[in-house]
Structure 1
C-alpha cells in the first residue's frame, strides 16, 4: 500500500507541483487552507504532512495547524515537513523547535523532497 500524504499549501500552483512530485509513489490529499487541513486530519490517518507555513490566513498558519493536528487522535504522531519560502537565518531552527520533523525551502527540489519523505516514513 502506498504511503498517504497530506499536502497543505494555499497556492494552487505550488500544490500542483507537489502533487506531481508525489504521483508515482504516494496517495495524497491536498488542502488549501489550515481549516481544510484540520478537517482532513480529523478524518483520515496520514503517514506524512507537507506543510506550507504562510497559508494566507493570519489567524492560522502552518505552525498553528501542526499544533492543532497533534491533538487529533488519528494523527498525533504523524511526521511533518515544513515546505516554505522562509529561508532566513534561524527559520529552520525555529520551525524544528515548533515541532516540524524537517524543513525544505521553496522552490522544492524533487529528489531532496522524496529523500526526506522516505526517511521520515521509513
Structure 2
C-alpha cells in the first residue's frame, strides 16, 4: 500500500532531491514546489497528507505560508512540519507558535523525520 502524498516546499532543489529520494525509498509519494506560492497552490488543490515546509525562502517565507495555510478552510487541517536550518534556541517554539505541527532542523535526521511522518500519515 502506498502511503499518503507528502508535499515538500523548499527553494533549494538539492534539498528537495535529497528528501524525495529518502521518502520514496520509505514508500512515500512526494510532490514538490520551489516556492511557497507554488506550494500553497498545490496544497489547496487537495490530496496532500503532510507538508514539509522550509521556513527560510525568498519572496514568501515559511512563516507567511503557515499563516496562510492556517487561515484557509481547505488547508488548515493539513499537518505542517517546519524544516529549517535555524536550530537556535527559540526557533522550534517560533515555528510551533506560527502554526507548525512539528519542527525538524537541517541537516535532517531521517529517523526523526520518519517518526514524525508516522504521526501524521496512515
Answer whether TM exceeds 0.5 for this pair: yes
The runs of at least 4 consecutive aligned structure 1 residues that moved more than 6 Å come to none
Within 2, Cα distance between the matches of 1:29 and 1:75?
Answer: 16
From 46, 49, 52, the counterpart of 1:47: 49
Q: TM-score, normalised by structure 1?
A: 0.91
Cα pair 1:53 1:82 within 8 Å, conserved: yes
Cα pair 1:84 1:105 within 8 Å, conserved: yes
Structure 1, unaligned stretches of length 5 or more? none
Distance apart, 1:56 and its partner CA: 2.2
Aligned CA RMSD, in angstroms, stands at 1.4
Structure 2, unaligned stretches of length 5 or more? none
Cα pair 1:41 1:72 within 8 Å, conserved: no
- The 5 A counterparts of 1:83-98 are 83-98=83-98
- The 5 A counterparts of 1:25-64 are 25-57=27-59, 60-64=60-64
Aligned residue number for residue 18 of structure 1 = 19
Aligned residue number for residue 6 of structure 1 = 7
Number of equivalenced pairs: 120
Within 2, Cα distance between the matches of 1:68 and 1:49?
Answer: 13
Cα pair 1:9 1:33 within 8 Å, conserved: yes
Distance apart, 1:121 and its partner CA: 2.4
SS at match of 1:23: helix
Cα pair 1:81 1:100 within 8 Å, conserved: yes
